[in-house]
Amino acid sequence: MSPPATTTDTLSATSEAARVEEAARAVVAAHDPRTVSREELFGALYDAGLAWVHHPEGLGGRGLSRGLQAVVDEIVTAAGGARMFAVNPIGYGMGAPTVVEYGRDREQVAAWLRPMATGEEIWCQLFSEPGAGSDVAGLASTAVPDGDEWVVNGQKVWTTLAHVARWGMLVARTDPDQPKHRGLTYFVIDMQQPGVEVRPLRQMTGQAEFNEVYLNDARVLDAHRLGEVGAGWKVAITTLMNERTAIGGVTGPRGSGVIAEALGLWRAHPERHTPVLRDRLAALWTRAETHRLTLARARRTATAGQPGPEGSVSKLVGAELNQEVYEFCMDLLGPEALLYDDYTMSRERVHADPGSTLQQRFLRSRANTIEGGTSEVMRNILGERVLSLPGEPRSDSDRPWKEVPRG
């Protein structure tokens, strides 16, 4: 249990929050989100140390508490700007903390971070493979050293935004003689180079926001390696923990978010009210508010350190709550819920947007309990790493990867 905050601690936190708020308002006043480009606004926030307030100075931050980022986000969105996470979710929420922690060259890290923050360079995550979905450490893509480069071959799948990405976070096997967790290495790879082929995967919404990626003698500089050779699993865990925190960690005012859609639909159709639906809506609102308050508390107490497995809680709860809220909306719509005519293949709308229909968002929500780690994986993480329950038997933990049978 953490020691109680002292009066000095409280005053210091209040003072830091006030300085962050003042700086954010100054940026918004000088770069009005309604009149300047997104790149200009987000670039100004980066230069002011407000892109990631917990990052070191000069790398888009101020070395402050991670929880103070909410102050910046609220001021920017209230002025009509977008959240940086929404523009470049994988880079902003997962790539940035990994690059800052493991990048070897501060100049290179800075060169990656600024266009990542502005959304000029989109990032993607090359982890999952056809033969190693939830078992990321079982991946088979290889990276072989060749001078000051590595030659990469293999296939990745379910790679969100790969078709628009400039950089990809890649984990590849560099030593098949080691057990699966100890023979991996982590790289940042150029997604627009020869040898990288991206093929869309069409979803039931009609969109194609994620892809399969083929790596055929693609080259990556050793200077773009994050962490030591063979220590890629440790680096990947940093990415995954930040991924779950980012996906599940969005907070807003009471009644906001997905529950607001259900409330709006309820008010719009009083003729469809029934006691059963009223009870369901009340229960969903209560769960949504409990989730929101839990996230708000977590953000207030967040430190500059890396998030731990507790981020799996918000990801798990938020994903399942999203699905249940949209299921309620479809039940309230009745036969109208069946009307969906937007199955045209689209590569332009890569995220659900306010203009999409409830039916589209209902279909898209089915992915929530799969992306960023399935709910089953989240429960295993929470059971083993938070509750200290015994793990499932693993027969391949100490065997060389090349000797482990694969389907």
CATH for 301: 1.20.140.10
Q: How confident is the model at residue 321 (pLDDT cuts 50, 70, 90)?
A: very high
Same domain? 271 vs 376: yes
Average pLDDT in the 120-128 region? 96
Q: What is the pLDDT of residue 343?
A: 64
Q: Which entry of 243, 310, 348, 403 is annotated as an active-site residue?
A: 243
Could you say which of 96, 121, 146 is where a domain stops? 121
Taking the C-alpha atoms of residue 223 and residue 227, their distance in angstroms, rounded to an integer, is 10
Could you say which of 209, 236, 263 is where a domain stops? 236
Cβ atoms of residues 325 and 283 within 8 Å? no
Which is it for strands 210-221 and 149-160: parallel, antiparallel or unpaired?
antiparallel
Q: What is the pLDDT of residues 262-316, one digit of tens each?
A: 999 999 999 999 999 999 999 999 999 998 888 777 666 555 455 656 667 888 8
Q: What is the pLDDT of residue 2?
A: 45
Same domain? 52 vs 34: yes
Closest CA to 51 of 97, 105, 108: 97
Q: Which of these ranges, 145-149, 238-242, 364-368, has the smallest mean pLDDT? A: 238-242
Hey, CA dihedral for 272, 273, 279, 282, is it positive or negative? positive
Report yes or no on 328 lying in a domain. yes
Q: What number of H helices and E strands is found in the chain?
A: 13, 8
Same domain? 260 vs 219: no
Taking the C-alpha atoms of residue 224 and residue 150, their distance in angstroms, rounded to an integer, is 10
Q: What is the pLDDT of residue 344?
A: 64
Q: What is the pLDDT of residues 190-216, one digit of tens each?
A: 999 999 999 999 888 888 888 999 999
Could you say which of 69, 99, 121 is where a domain stops? 121
Average pLDDT in the 114-129 region? 96
Cβ atoms of residues 72 and 24 within 8 Å? yes
Report yes or no on 137 lying in a domain. yes
Instruction: Provide long-range contacts, Cβ within 8 A and 24+ apart, for 45-49.
Output: 45/72, 45/76, 45/84, 45/117, 46/113, 46/114, 46/117, 46/118, 48/23, 48/24, 49/23
Higher-pLDDT residue of 6, 106: 106
Is residue 132 helix, strand or coil? strand
For residue 326, which phi and psi values (nearest 5 degrees)? -70, -30
Same domain? 176 vs 283: no
Q: What is the pLDDT of residue 315?
A: 83
Taking the C-alpha atoms of residue 291 and residue 286, their distance in angstroms, rounded to an integer, is 9
Q: What is the pLDDT of residue 247?
A: 62
Q: What is the pLDDT of residue 43?
A: 97
Q: What is the pLDDT of residue 250?
A: 61
Cβ atoms of residues 252 and 293 within 8 Å? no
Same domain? 191 vs 261: no
Note the pTM of the prediction, 2 decimals. 0.86
Same domain? 145 vs 81: no
Q: Assign residue 42 the CATH number of its domain.
A: 1.10.540.10
Which is it for strands 142-146 and 184-190: parallel, antiparallel or unpaired?
unpaired
Q: How confident is the model at residue 39 (pLDDT cuts 50, 70, 90)?
A: very high
Q: What is the pLDDT of residue 1?
A: 42
- At 55, list the tokens: 């990052």
Cα→Cα distances 331→28, 335, 367, Å: 42, 8, 19
Same domain? 321 vs 229: no
243 is catalytic: yes
Q: How many domains does the chain have?
A: 3
> 138 is in which domain, residue-wise?
123-236
Q: Assign residue 181 the CATH number of its domain.
A: 2.40.110.10
Same domain? 266 vs 225: no
Q: Which segments of 105-191 does DSSP mark as H helices, in order?
A: 106-118
Residue 395, pLDDT above cutoff 80? no
Same domain? 253 vs 381: yes
Same domain? 137 vs 107: no
Q: What is the pLDDT of residue 334?
A: 94
CA atoms within 13 A on the CB side of 137: 21
